[in-house]
């Protein structure tokens, strides 16, 4: 059990690092994103870009977990690993694929990590919306 918790801890840490670098990259890009007018199409473009970037971060994190499941022999192939990981990370939990008893604790930690990373993404997206509304107020004054 200690080994499985160590594996889960390392995978959780990799998700946090990937997410942190990804969010920091997006922040650097957003700081250069100037708003010169309140055009709805410009904000839609920004939201689509930010949402796409956030989804990409989650997909990378899911893939890291999937590779680990495949390497550990907990999933038969990478395709199954990615599917299982996505269902677990998003806490959908279909139950059509399950981890062997030995690795189930790792799956639970992935679900908790997914909740945390999705919450972080939601907070980041809310911060972008707040920036948009503040910029709108400045432009209207």
Cα 20 to its chain centre, rounded Å, is: 10
Structure token pair of residue 66: 């999937």
Question: Does residue 98 sit within a domain?
Answer: yes
Domain at 112, CATH number: 1.10.287.70
- Domain residue limits at 50: 41-140
Q: Which DSSP string corresponds to 14-44?
A: HHHHHHHHHHHHHHHHHHH----S--HHHHH
Question: Does residue 120 sit within a domain?
Answer: yes
Question: Does residue 50 sit within a domain?
Answer: yes
Q: Quick one: average pLDDT of 100-127?
A: 96
Q: Quick one: average pLDDT of 101-123?
A: 97
- Do residues 105 and 72 make contact, with C-beta atoms less than 8 angstroms apart? no
Question: Does residue 7 sit within a domain?
Answer: no
- Helix axis angle for 104-140 and 78-89, nearest 10°, is 60
Say yes or no to pLDDT of 133 above 80.
Answer: no
In the chain, the number of structural domains is: 1
Residues 55-97: pLDDT tens digits? Answer: 999 999 999 999 999 999 999 999 999 999 999 999 999 999 9
């Amino acid at each position: 059990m200690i080994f499985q918790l160590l594996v889960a801890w390392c995978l959780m840490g990799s998700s946090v690092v990937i997410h942190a670098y990804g969010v920091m990259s997006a922040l650097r890009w957003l700081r250069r994103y100037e708003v010169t007018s309140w055009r709805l199409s410009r904000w839609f473009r920004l939201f689509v870009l930010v949402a796409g970037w956030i989804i990409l971060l989650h997909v990378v994190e899911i893939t890291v977990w999937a590779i680990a499941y495949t390497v550990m022999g907990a999933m038969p192939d990478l395709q199954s690993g990615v599917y299982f990981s996505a269902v677990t990370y998003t806490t959908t939990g279909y139950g059509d694929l399950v981890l062997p008893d030995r690795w189930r604790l790792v799956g639970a930690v992935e679900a908790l990590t997914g909740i945390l990373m999705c919450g972080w993404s939601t907070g980041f997206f809310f911060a972008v919306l707040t920036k948009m509304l503040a910029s709108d107020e400045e432009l209207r004054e």
